[in-house]
Chains A and B, each alone.
Chain A
Amino acid sequence: MRSDRSQSAPTGLKIAAAAGLAFLHLPILLIFVYAFTTEEKSYQWPPPGFTTQWFAVTWGRADVWQALGLSVQVAAISTGIALVLGTLCAAAVSQTRFFGREAISLLVILPIALPGIITGIALRSAFSLAEIPFSFWTIVLGHATFCVVVVYNNAVARFRRTSGSLIEASMDLGADGFQTFRHVILPNIGTALLAGGMLAFALSFDEVIVTTFTAGQQQTLPIWMLEELVRPRQRPVTNVVAMVVVLATLLPILAAYYLTREGDQIAGAGK
């Protein structure tokens, strides 16, 4: 008997599944709990008391706002670059045939397969070689390398599902290139771009490794958190920030998931 759906799973399997899920998600809850602890020097379990004072403290800290602002800007611009380049590249690879097409497809995807540390070192040496000072824009470039992949993967999957004759039909009916893009291509790949863009944003937002190598004095939010962990004062502030970030990113990711679940999966989400 292959699949009797009404039959329930064995108790052992249920426990194993519950344990697996608990292992994945309990630590996140722990982060939330420590955001309310009264102990500020170490993570003590059980928390000696609960307070909401850290929310006010966090609100008042200028370094938090600075790091958050930088991260949002970097993520937004990297995603913007990725949306343009990724879409153009996906269109070229899926709509036309040319020599080396498969190779280009592979080369575009490679940055996400490479360990971040390799990308980071490579970019750092390239920037030094070209005597480009580390700045906001070097961080953006570093993030764009993997953001492009996410958008590309989503767009290419959608392009493949979209019949090429739609574009010909549009031209045949009198639409020029721009009108065809606006009225036929964009509506058909729109949700894929939205999903790809959200993922790209999320990836950029919590990127540490590549950022470490391509940033100058700037601190993005994840880098700020790392530094904060080794300081003894006001530790729960980090937890408050973490909690807000988790809640703020969860919603877009869920939305992206629901937008693309019919058909193509969110490729490259594993970085």
Chain B
Amino acid sequence: MTPAVAFQKTSRHFGAVRAVDAVDLEIKPGEFFAMLGPSGSGKTTCLRLIAGFEQPTSGSISIFGERAEGVPPYRRNVNTVFQDYALFPHLNVLDNVAYGLMVKGVGKDERHRAAEDALKLVQLPGYGGRKPSQLSGGQRQRVALARALVNKPKVLLLDEPLGALDLKLRESMQEELKQLQKALGITFVFVTHDQGEALSMADRVAVFNDGRIMQVGAPEEIYQRPASRFVADFVGSSNVLPPDFVQRYAGQHRWGSLRPEQIRVRSDTSGDGVAARVVSRHYLGAATKLSLDANGLRLHATLPSGTAVPEDGAHVMLTFNRDQLHLMEEQA
């Protein structure tokens, strides 16, 4: 099967800065793909390479089997939802949405009809006559989405589309985007620095750092079996265990990771386990998160609500199932 987007040893350097450095990547057709990473990790540059706003310094990019190097943005069947939405302030909502069809020469009635349909799709029917400045952030976001979708792109690129929305709106938009993607069957490529967002929405996630992809996989895989210390640390606060520690419990001199919820905490300090002291407690509602100091090693454990929570400074014993100690690919 031809991948929707394929990078082969693709690099984008800005002078000495290697924004994207020899990245290999294949995004499958119809996939909801997230690019996750801290700011400056190269994820947005990757998105701009697909959109055509950047050209690779070396390597190649193909979109549905067609080479994309040197093809300008306006000749790619790819559309973008911008981080700041980039709605045209001088046009009303309907003309904003119809813009792509207008420059392609579609007649007024036809393009307005298509734009009206697209607005229905994002649940803003009847908003066509308003100016972008009269809309709320969430509504602008939907207009930006409709403006991209009306062109029936093969790939839809979303650059931190939920970044400017408040938490509640963000959650409902996540849900909606996911359903929209399923209904339309378009390949979505989504850039975010929010690991929760990436894990909850995407079919697959690529974790970026320093212009490279650290790991690509399904959310469960990234979460349960991080390949490196960076991934373990960035994607959801896994405990990173140094090789000496891992040697003692798993018999191998490798870096390891352990999820906070997989650590059991016992107040009775006799018997087997890792002795630790409670440094602080954070009540999270459904669980309580403990910061622990195990002989200099900082660990986190989450206790489901309802279990007894030890006091600050209390000495406790930590135990875990050895199968759940994940050995990372990264060499010690």
Q: Return 22 A-B CB contacts under 8 Å, by A number.
A: A165-B82, A166-B86, A168-B53, A169-B80, A169-B87, A170-B103, A171-B72, A172-B51, A172-B74, A172-B79, A172-B80, A172-B148, A173-B74, A173-B79, A173-B103, A173-B148, A174-B104, A175-B99, A176-B72, A179-B103, A183-B102, A188-B89
A217 proximity list for chain B (CB < 8 A): none
The CA-CA distance from A183 to B147 in the complex, in Å, is 15
How far is B104's CA from A169's CA once the two chains are assembled, in angstroms? Answer: 15
Chain A interface mostly: helix
Question: Does any Cβ of B come within 8 Å of A163's Cβ?
Answer: yes
Q: Beta-carbon contacts of B74-102 to A below 8 Å, as 1s and 0s?
A: 10001110111011111000000001101
Task: Report whether B100 and A173 are in contact in the complex, using a CB–CB cutoff of 8 Å.
Answer: yes
**Other 4 A-B pairs with CB < 8 A, given A168-B86, A183-B103, A188-B90:** A169-B88, A170-B88, A175-B99, A184-B88
Residues of B within 8 A of A188 (CB): 89-90
User: Which residues of B are interface residues toward A (Cβ below 8 A)?
Assistant: 51-53, 72-74, 78-80, 82-84, 86-90, 99-100, 102-104, 147-148, 151
Q: Is the CB of A183 within 8 A of B99?
A: yes
CB A176 to nearest CB in B, in angstroms, measures: 5
Q: A174-B151, A175-B103, A183-B103 are in contact. Are A169 and B90 (CB under 8 A)?
A: no
Q: Is the CB of B73 within 8 A of A168?
A: yes
Which residues of A are at the interface with B, using a C-beta cutoff of 8 A? 163, 165-166, 168-176, 179, 183-184, 187-188
Across the interface, which residues of A come within 8 angstroms of B102, CB to CB?
Answer: 183
Name the CB-closest residue of B to A173: B100
**Assembled-state Cα–Cα distance A163/B90 (Å):** 13
Closest A residue, CB atoms, query B90 = A187
Give chain B residues whose Cβ lies under 8 Å from the Cβ of A173. 74, 79, 99-100, 103, 147-148, 151
Q: Are B84 and A174 in contact (CB under 8 A)?
A: no
Given the known interface contacts A179-B103, A183-B99, the answer about A174 and B74 at a Cβ–Cβ threshold of 8 Å is yes
User: Within 8 Å CB of A174, what residues of B?
Assistant: 74, 100, 103-104, 151
Interface centre among B82, B87, B103, B147 (most CB of A within 10 A): B103
Cα separation A176 to B147 with both chains bound (whole Å): 17
Closest chain B residue to A167, Cβ basis = B86
The answer to whether A165 touches B74 (Cβ under 8 A) is no
- Contact call A170/B99, Cβ cutoff below 8 A: yes
CA distance A196 to B80 in the complex (A): 34
C-alpha spacing A156/B164, complex, angstroms: 27
Closest to A184 in B: B88
Closest partner residue, chain A, to B98 (CB atom): A173
Bound Cα distance from A143 to B240, whole angstroms = 70
Chain A positions within 8 Å of B80 at CB level = 168-169, 172
CB within 8 A of B82: which of A168, A175, A176? Answer: A168
- Cα A136 to Cα B87 in complex, Å, equals 46
Contacts of B147 in A (CB 8 A): 173
Most buried by B among A173, A176, A183, A188: A173
Contact A165 B86 (CB under 8 A): yes
Contacts of A184 in B (CB 8 A): 88
Contact between chains at B74 and A169 (CB < 8 Å): no
The distance in angstroms between the C-alpha atoms of A187 and B74, with both chains bound, is 20
Contact between chains at B74 and A166 (CB < 8 Å): no
Say whether B103 contacts A169, CB under 8 Å: no
CA distance A174 to B148 in the complex (A): 11
